[in-house]
């Protein structure tokens, strides 16, 4: 069976942008050194969101939250949680400033914001239903952690037949090796992984009708 190559562009008329977990806790943390390290990621998001707004691409924000009392958290045992001592799910507390978004990329009234309690952008959020309602069949996505929530969402998007572009500079992760492997190996099976410059150029190409 032959396959036809997909043109390397982003069709703005059928695409949506998912700003995956780009919350204050991740992008503008209290620690000055970490905040400085994350500044290039925030700047990349400013550029990508601006380009998508200019092309009238719907913008969907997700933010990772759990109730303050932890009643909605199920901490399943995993090898990594045992090895590191870090729980398998570490969300922001719902309603706190950390769960919101930096001023530079704050949602606007026409944007969509979803609270997310599990790693996938789609599980229990309503994002998949929104995409169907908007008749969007392509995604642009970035966020963190790259090898966890972003990759989980990209794999699920592939199973939903969504044409996905992952933007490198908009992704981050605490494990450098896992972050790189996810971008350079595993997600390439399910999406097109592009630099910010490439993604901006792909968005700038007029849609051919």
Only one residue has tokens 């090895």, namely 83
In a domain, 8, yes or no: no
Helices 196-204 and 32-54: angle between axes, nearest 10 degrees: 10
In a domain, 94, yes or no: yes
In a domain, 57, yes or no: yes
Model pLDDT, residue 82: 83
CATH of the domain at 164: 3.40.50.850
In a domain, 111, yes or no: yes
pTM tops 0.85, yes or no: yes
DSSP assigned state of 91:
P
Model pLDDT, residue 207: 45
In a domain, 6, yes or no: no
In a domain, 1, yes or no: no
Residue 169 Cα distances to 68, 74, 117, angstroms: 32, 31, 25
User: Residue 64's domain spans which residues?
Assistant: 15-204
Model pLDDT, residue 53: 97
In a domain, 4, yes or no: no
Domain count, the chain: 1
Tell me: pLDDT of 13 over 50.
Answer: yes
pLDDT in tens, 58-114: 999 999 888 888 888 777 888 878 888 777 777 878 889 999 999 999 999 999 999
Q: How many helices (H) and strands (E) does the chain have?
A: 7, 7
User: What is the rounded distance in angstroms from the CA atom of residue 131 to the CA atom of residue 139?
Assistant: 9
């Amino acid at each position: 069976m032959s396959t036809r190559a997909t043109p390397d562009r982003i069709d703005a008329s059928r695409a949506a942008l998912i700003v995956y977990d780009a919350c204050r806790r991740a992008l503008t943390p209290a620690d000055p050194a970490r905040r400085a390290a994350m500044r290039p990621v925030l700047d990349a998001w400013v550029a990508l969101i601006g380009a998508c707004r200019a092309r009238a691409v719907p913008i969907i924000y997700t933010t990772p939250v759990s109730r303050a009392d932890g009643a909605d958290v199920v901490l399943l045992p995993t090898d990594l949680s045992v090895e590191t001592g870090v729980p398998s799910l570490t969300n922001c507390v719902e309603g706190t400033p950390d769960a919101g978004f930096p001023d530079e990329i704050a949602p606007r009234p026409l944007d969509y914001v979803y609270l997310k309690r599990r790693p996938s952008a789609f599980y229990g959020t309503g994002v998949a239903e929104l995409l169907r309602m908007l008749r969007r069949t392509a995604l642009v996505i970035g966020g963190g952690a790259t090898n966890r929530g972003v990759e989980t969402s990209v794999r699920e998007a592939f199973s939903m037949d969504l044409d996905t572009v992952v933007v490198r500079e908009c992704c981050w992760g605490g494990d450098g090796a896992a972050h790189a492997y996810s971008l350079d190996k595993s997600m390439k099976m399910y999406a097109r992984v592009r630099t910010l410059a490439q993604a901006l150029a792909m968005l700038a190409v007029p849609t051919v009708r």
